[in-house]
Structure 1
Amino acid sequence: MAGKGQAGSRDDITSYLQSLNRMGAKLGLERVTKLLDALDRPQDSFRTIIVGGTSGKGSTAAMISSVLTEAGYKTGRYTSPHLTSITERIVVDGKEISESDFARMITKVREAVDRMAETQFDHPTFFEVVTAAAFCYFREKRIDFAVLEVGLGGRLDATNTTSDANTPVSVITNISLEHTTILGDTIAKIAYEKAGIIKQDGILVTAAQDEALGVFEKACNERNARMFVAGKDIVVTRVDADSDGQVFDAELAGKKYAHLHIPLLGRHQLENAACAIGAVEALGLRGVEVDDGAMTRGLKKTKWPGRMEIVQKKPRVMLDGAKDAEAMRRLWKAIEEDMKYRRLVLVIGISSDKDIDGMVGAIAPLADKAVITAHNVAGRAADMQMIADSMKKHGVEHVMVPDVKDAVKKAISLADEDDLVLVTGSLFTVAEARELWHKTKTRWGRELSETPKK
């Protein structure tokens, strides 16, 4: 290991983070709270918007942080997982942390962990260490705001360590069944875990509906928090859409925005945009000024690759990291509504901890042919035969190609110019495919990723 205050080498950092991954992933705030205390509570040095929910968290966080940056606030963004490099997770004003700064922050956190080891303690997890590194970096960069995407659940997630006073707004995009062995096997139980990010005297912005909304209303009443609901308090109306994005109007609390543009496809992104706009406007209730121009520019400049991203036109190739059945249903709906094509050739690779039948069932009706593959993140890819068995139930002609890039090339060879090649099933699958068009050298790539939640 490097000397005190010096960044460890690439191999040091890699070995350390991999060793944490082997320890597994565990929810709970005790470990990370002790670690942050040992680092002099870096999360107290900035204000926070925390974003939870089942899907759309990353897109919503990207929109909020882009708007705040355009408004002149120095803004950090922390998201997970990453497409290509772990440095994507930690961003300030649109710029990723450098690899040298990442190494330095991980070393700083590791030194704190080593000091803690002198007393009896439960070792922090991979996600907790990286979260602490992000907080330390944000403190060093003297940011005004951090927009934090929850890793899993909310109540016991490492991102949920910011104080009530420093977290004026919480966002919960939507709720569906996910990670049921950890979060619970009903919408109400999962909503309870997500509601843990609602702060005392804070503001909640959500697009949740029905039973989940009732859980959030109860939590807000208990914590004296206000709640704004997309579709009710925040209304967006689509004006136009094409392969470059969507134009829409928005209205909330009597305030109107006309012809806003986001470079993201699918009506579900309008729901996310409603949450982002609501979050920024909610900050205004806490004295944070954001002018209309910043809102317009920030939304238009939002970048969030791997979500209905078009990377090639003839044939059209779309990448989308839909990772569960609900996300797959949203993708299906968006393609049905907005995409014109003759046939759809599906490339699909799913992680082993997912509902394979549910995901395949949601997207298979669109597919004329399928190429089944397996991403190369160690220990996380589902067996291709399991996906094939599910695809067979839906009568979709399919082949199996183990390597993702080869699978995409196979799909393109099967497609005509007016067909659509859709690559989906996991962000890991999408990330590997994306390298065919956007090759990036990185010291720490997808081999550093959270262990599946047990």
Structure 2
Amino acid sequence: MSAPGYQDSLRFLYQRINYERISTTPARYPFRLGRMVELAERLGLGDYLYANALRPPKPVIHIAGTKGKGSTAAMVASILAAAGYRTGSYTSPHLSDLEERFRINGIPCAPHELVALVEQIRNVVEEMDRESGSAPTFFELTTVMAVLHFQAQACDAIVLEVGLGGRLDSTNVFASSVTAITSIGLDHQQVLGNTIAEIATEKAGIIKPNVPVVSSVVRPEAIEVIHAAAAKQNSPLYQLGEAQLGEGQLGETQLGKGGCAVSPSRHDFTVSNERHPEWGSQIHYRGLTAPLRDQRDVTLAMEGAHQVRNAGVAIAVVDLLSEHGLAVPETAFDSGLFKLNCTARIERFQLKEGGIALVDAAHNDDSVAALIQAMDARLQGRPVTIVFGTSRDKSAESMLASLAPKAAHLVLTKYSGNPRYREPTEMLPMVPSDFRQHAEVVEDAIQACKRGLELATPEGVLVICGSFFLAAEARQWILSLGGT
């Protein structure tokens, strides 16, 4: 049962979303960090602002990336919680309830706490509406609500996931203790830019002077941008060693950590793994540059080579937090990662009808590639039925080109709750002609999932992907069927 005032609080926040404007505007960033700074200051968060503080009152971990930032944020928070630290994490989007964005030690904010937070900000927001004529946005409000919540709940550390980009994201007004950039790929081009270098520049905007940054990007042009940004800010940079930089991509004049020339083969930590027989991986982490610790072996519950890389970043980030007074015992790394499950990140369900289902919020080319890699590694030739729906601003054609060859059956659909969905009839011609005979359209998302279940034999696999919104609907449907 909802807390009194809960629906009114949601209306207060959601009325500040305009999907059509955000999804179609050709202008870069309809957001203003000055407004965000003013909002935070009026709400008493001045001590956390980058403009006012060399260091935040509590350690703040700031994470950006085209994909992997949400999983990495969850991993960092889980390790710190396992070490006994009260850890707040702000992530987006949510799957079912807005409170999922505000978690302390993995537990979402309660509905009555959400109501109290809205009441705490309401007068200030309405004053700003009247005075400036530029109303704070939904994401700006949820960002300050998160920090207010973590402050009120006496969190020892705060993990902030970037919402979009980095440089002009609402989270970027806050001072940070460690930053991380997980990956750079083509996504949100209408806002961030049309090239890898342009998008990398936006994401590298979270790098702050003298604040260490951990990077697991692999594209040479992105690595070049991030290394240059770190050097400009005099920020120690720790690069994952699996990156294949390619010859000649970084010239000898490019400066890295401490003003030294960046070598194309430079790396500060590495990760390798063996697949767990059932699910997940056994990870071997090796730190090569102080203060990263030499080595540790941990078990990761989440599936996929990309999650192994994310875990490596999370471990490196936590290592760097030792300089901020957060001592983490070795046991916390294993226990924090072993028990972690991120919803809709290649999430596996055993179906009562037989077979398995995978629900994944993959919604761009890089995340679809990671999903396919996991499918190839784990499904062992089992027939696959894919239910796919996505947004108008996503690269549906290239995602379908990758997914269609993996599917015995392909069901195209849309989802409710967000007018940005792409009509499935528009996507049917995007399916490669060699596989179009195996594709069909089912408009309603749940009916599409039911059709997918019919097509997946008892020995088969149902894969649902393309959007957080579709993943949210499908996940609830699977749980209602008794999927585990």
Q: TM-score, normalised by structure 1?
A: 0.91
Aligned to 2:328: 290
How far apart, in 2, do the equivalents of 1:413 and 1:140 lie? 49
- Give the alignment partner of residue 402 of structure 1, picking from 443, 448, 452: 443
The DSSP-based 3-state class of the residue aligned with 1:205 is strand
Gaps of 5+ in 2: 23-29, 49-55, 242-266
Q: What secondary structure sits across from 2:62 in the alignment?
A: strand
Q: CA deviation at 1:187?
A: 1.0
Aligned twin of 1:307:
345
User: Paired residue for 2:468, among 410, 414, 427?
Assistant: 427
Give runs of aligned pairs for residues 57-206 of structure 1, distance below 5 A. Answer: 57-163=69-175, 167-206=176-215
Q: Does residue 379 of structure 1 match 2:383? A: no
Pick the aligned partner of 2:282 from 238, 247, 257. Answer: 247
Cα distance in 2 for partners of 1:14, 1:305 equals 22
Does the CA contact (< 8 Å) of 2:91 and 2:160 recur in 1?
yes
**Mapping for residues 2-21 of structure 1, pairs under 5 Å:** 9-21=5-17
What residue in structure 2 maps to residue 324 of structure 1?
A: 364
What is the CA-CA distance between 1:236 and the residue it aligns to? 1.2
Structure 1 position 215 matched with structure 2 position 256? no
What amino acid does structure 1 have at the position aligned with 2:231? N
Equivalent residue letter for 1:399: E
The gaps in structure 1 that reach 5 residues or longer are 1-6, 441-454
Question: Kindly tell me: are residues 298 and 235 of structure 1, through their superposed partners in 2, closer, same or farther at Cα, counting changes over 3 Å?
Answer: same
Q: Counterpart in 2 of 1:352?
A: 392
- C-alpha distance in 2 between matches for 1:344 and 1:284: 45
Say which is worse superposed, 411-420 or 70-79, in terms of deviation: 411-420
| Residue-by-residue CA offset, 1:147-205 (whole Å, 9 max, x unaligned) | 11100000100111112xxx121010010111112111111111111011111111110
Q: CA deviation at 1:258?
A: 4.5
1:14 is displaced (CA, Å) by 2.8
Query: Alignment RMSD, CA only?
Result: 1.9
- Aligned mates of 1:256, 1:240 — CA distance in 2: 22
Distance 1:105 1:322 in 2: 31
Q: Which residue number in structure 1 is paired with residue 261 of structure 2? A: none
Q: Secondary structure at the match of 1:159?
A: helix
Which range is displaced more, 107-116 or 173-182?
Answer: 107-116
Q: Would the aligned equivalents of 1:236 and 1:249 in 2 still touch at CA under 8 Å?
A: yes
* DSSP 3-state at the match of 2:15: helix
* Corresponding residue of 1:30: 34
With over 3 angstroms needed to count, the CA separation of the structure-2 counterparts of 1:235 and 1:130, relative to structure 1, is same
Whether the aligned pair in 2 keeps the contact of 1:310 and 1:317 (CA below 8 Å) is yes
Tell me the amino acid that sits aligned with residue 135 of structure 1.
V
In 1: Cα distance, 2:11 partner to 2:237 partner = 44
Q: Give the SS at the match of 1:435.
A: helix
Asked if 1 retains the 8 angstrom alpha-carbon contact of 2:59 and 2:324, the reply is no
Partner of 1:447: none
* Conserved 8 A contact 1:242-1:338: no
Q: Give the counterpart letter for 2:95 in structure 1.
A: L
Tell me the alpha carbon deviations over residues 33-88 of structure 1, each in whole angstroms, 9 at most, x when there is no partner: 11101101164543210010100111000000000111121100000001111111
Which residue of 1 is the match for residue 314 of structure 2? 276
Tell me how far 1:8 sits from its aligned partner.
7.3
Q: Are the counterparts in 2 of residues 81 and 89 from structure 1 also a CA contact under 8 Å?
A: yes
Report runs of 4+ in structure 1 exceeding 6 Å deviation: none
Q: Measure the CA separation in 2 of the matches of 1:162 and 1:233.
A: 27
SS class of match (2:16): helix
| Aligned equivalent of 1:224, options 219, 228, 234 | 234
Name the aligned partner's letter for residue 221 of structure 1: A
Query: Does the residue aligned with 1:347 lie in a helix, a strand or coil?
Result: strand
Deviation at 1:117, TM superposition (A): 3.5
Change (3 A) 1:270 1:28: same
**Aligned-residue offset at 1:118:** 4.4
Deviation for aligned residue 1:398: 1.4
Partner AA of 1:366 in structure 2: K
Residue of structure 2 in register with 1:416 after alignment:
457
Structure 2 CA distance for aligned equivalents of residues 242 and 389 of structure 1: 39
Q: Displacement of 1:394 after TM fit?
A: 4.5
Which amino acid is the alignment partner of residue 30 of structure 1?
G
Residues 419, 438 of structure 1: alpha-carbon distance in 2 compared, 3 angstrom cutoff: closer
The structure showing larger relative contact order (alpha-carbon pairs under 8 Å, at least 6 residues apart) is 1
Cα distance change of structure 1 residues 33 and 8 upon mapping to structure 2, 3 Å threshold? farther
Q: How far apart are residue 256 of structure 1 and its match? A: 4.5
Equivalent residue for 1:336, pick from 376, 387, 407: 376
Which secondary structure does the structure 2 equivalent of 1:431 belong to? Answer: helix
Contact residue 315 and residue 412 of structure 1 kept, 8 A: no
Conservation of the 8 A alpha-carbon contact between 2:413 and 2:448: yes
User: In structure 2, how many angstroms separate the alpha carbons of the residues matched to 1:104 and 1:439?
Assistant: 31
| Cα distance per residue 1:3-31 (max 9 Å; x no partner) | xxxx9723322322232113855333111
CA distance in 1, matches of 2:435, 2:333: 46
Match in the other structure for 1:449: none
Aligned residues of 1:346 and 1:422 also touching (Cα < 8 A): yes
Q: In 1, Cα distance between the equivalents of 2:159 and 2:276? A: 27
The one-letter code matched in structure 2 to 1:114 is E
| 1:264 maps to which of 302, 314, 330 | 302
Q: Which SS does the other structure have where 1:214 is aligned?
A: helix
For residues 439 and 203 of structure 1, what CA distance do their matches in structure 2 show? 45
Select between 304-313 and 74-83 the one with higher mean Cα deviation. Answer: 304-313
- Post-superposition shift, 1:401? 1.3
Deviates more, 1:89-98 or 1:26-35: 26-35
Give distance in 2, aligned partners of 1:168 and 1:18: 31
Count of paired positions: 431
Deviation of 1:259 after TM superposition, in Å, equals 3.7
Give the deviation of 1:211 after TM superposition: 1.1
Q: Find the aligned partners of 1:213 and 1:338 in 2 and give their Cα distance.
A: 30
Counterpart Cα distance in 2 of 1:227 and 1:259: 23
